[in-house]
Amino acid sequence: MTLKTRILAIAACIAVITFGFSNLHAREIHVAKTGSDSNPGSQTDPFLTISKAASIAQSGDTITVHAGTYREWVKPPRGGTGENNRITYRAAKGEKIFIKGSEHITSWTHQDGGVWRVELPNSFFGDYNPYSLNISGGWLNYGNWHHRGDVYLNGQAFYEKETTEEVNKAEQSWHCRVDEENTIILANFGKANPNKEQVEINVRESIFMPKITGLKYITVDGFHFMHAAANWAPPTLELQTGAVGTRMGKHWIIQNCTIINARCVGIILGHAPGADYSDIDAFGDHIIRNNIIRRCGQAGIAGQKGATRSVISGNLIEDTNYRKEFGGWETAAIKFHNSVDTVISGNLIRGVFHQQQGAFGIWIDYANQGIRITGNVIYDTQAATVFLEMNHGPTLVDNNILIGEAIRSNSEATVFAHNLFVDCGYKYYPDTKRRSAYYTPHTTKAVGRKTGTAQDEKWFNNIFIRQGLDDVKEAPGYTSDYNIFLEGAKKSTFGDRHSLVEPFVTKFTYENHPLGVTIRFSMNDAFSRLKGPWVDAGLVGVFSTVGQTIEDRYGNPIRVDTDIDGNKFAEPVVGPLTDIEKGINTFEWTYSKAE
């Protein structure tokens, strides 16, 4: 080897070490139900389990999983080293992959009527038996006798009962008891024979979540996750768990997935031991997009701090707590604490239920800052469509369609712009007994704490149908103007000098579809007679508590110049549609996968 060749070889080695060119050796690892974990993991000789593929995957690798049902908890041991060196877990194109936290049980014995019994050794569950563990944790206000397990017949979850007598009387119900050696489950299957049907019970706490805090650059794409048995996840826990979770990692992408019947939380972006919360660059920055999240007991997406700088976009979240078995002050389709510069955009949220308390659409709870809620459709919530709790702003709520329960707030410095509010007013409940933090802009460095006291709320260029702002009491910095109030909706008592109040009947309707909704309403010509201003930093100003205006994560001022579909305004319009017109207007939200 000549001196020149040797120098070039050394330089190449330094480049690999310094710049992490691991994708030069990136490979595709295959997993299939026809495989074996003793195989090399190639397309012709795939692994049998995703966990085996995860154990060898290195930065830049792609794990392609082929059709079938995989009953395992995937615990990635490492992440990627950069945006171009991710570790990607993906479903093979055009194939359905189910990853389940449950096991198929075929050893049921008939008792009487529709009731069957199964007895399993506790060793069957390993070190986590969801039938010996109750749902528990802070702000769980009812139903805490329930266990973390569940029973499913052909994908339908049963209802847990406290006694065997109740199970005898109710089809689609179950009861359990655990002694020192065995777990016994009684279930009422009606006329079905559980040994001839698909009957599954929860076994695993989570389905895709590391045991290591802080992994970066992981993509999870295209899977069906079902039947996680994780506990209730309040913000007070050192480790919040769910069906799928990032464990305070950074730069994850979770997309095109379906998450069904998580006992508590579908996707968890929250607390984990060892995380450095003081450094905003150490965690968060996730993209959670174009997922379908159904029938989760506590929340579709939730987390303390870990959602910071994340984008939650294009998801369909429905039937949260549909069984109303347990709940409290953590029940919502989306719920975040202590997040900074998070964007929640273009989601369809419907069906959030409760026996008492909770049941909000989007709940931004306690010490969040720089939040934008834009382009979402929310309806059929038993409590507020949006709850803004103990935040000091700025929060920008723009281009949403909010139907039903009134927005609830004890926050300050919220800007409502270009929304369509239908039967959806605004209720302020001050909280002077608590103090929440606010931060140096675009950091997680707290600079003060303050009570939840009304201040600096703004409403511009909105359409209100049947419910308006007449119940809102004036407070310092409150401003409202250039809104349209229709069909009995009334303007504020402190502003709305240019706003229009008209009795026009909109005949507003919405029609559910399995993967979306169609919204129709009529308009008169009020929108063409009212010319409002651009909603931007110049209009709203700098908010005194936090010392920032409406701006993106980089500190660039925001101008609201697009509609609910991302179409540019030629000039400011009232409401969330650029193409609004006199007569019937139609808007459709339909789920689609991310490219």
Per-residue pLDDT reduced to its tens digit, 47-72 = 999 999 999 999 999 999 999 999 99
156: left (phi over 0), alpha (psi -120 to 50) or beta: beta
**For 318-339, what is each residue's pLDDT tens digit?**
999 999 999 999 999 999 999 9
pLDDT of residue 14: 39
The pTM of this model reads 0.95
pLDDT of residue 23: 53
pLDDT of residue 595: 86
**For 358-408, what is each residue's pLDDT tens digit?**
999 999 999 999 999 999 999 999 999 999 999 999 999 999 999 999 999
- Check if the beta carbon of residue 255 is closer than 8 Å to that of residue 290: yes
Query: Could you give the CA distance from residue 351 to residue 265 in angstroms, rounded to a whole number?
Result: 15
Query: Could you give the CA distance from residue 269 to residue 338 in angstroms, rounded to a whole number?
Result: 11
Question: Is pLDDT of 12 > 70?
Answer: no
- Check if the beta carbon of residue 148 is closer than 8 Å to that of residue 364: no
Which of 318, 328, 197 is closest to 261 using CA atoms? 318
Question: Is pLDDT of 78 > 50?
Answer: yes
Q: Tell me the mean pLDDT in the region 19-40.
A: 82
Residues 6+ apart with CB under 8 A from 232: 135, 136, 137, 140, 264, 298, 326, 330
Say what the alpha-carbon torsion angle 16, 17, 23, 24 is, to the nearest 10 degrees: 30
Q: Tell me the mean pLDDT in the region 271-292.
A: 95
Which of 388, 386, 439, 432 is closest to 414 using CA atoms? 388
527: left (phi over 0), alpha (psi -120 to 50) or beta: alpha
For the chain, the C-alpha Rg in angstroms (whole number) is: 26
Please, what is the average pLDDT of the chain?
Answer: 95
If you search the block for the tokens 């004036």, which residue do you land on? 474
Which of 302, 396, 295, 314 is closest to 353 using CA atoms? 295
pLDDT band at 25 (very low <50, low <70, confident <90, very high): confident
pLDDT of residue 425: 96
- Check if the beta carbon of residue 85 is closer than 8 Å to that of residue 23: yes
pLDDT of residue 24: 57
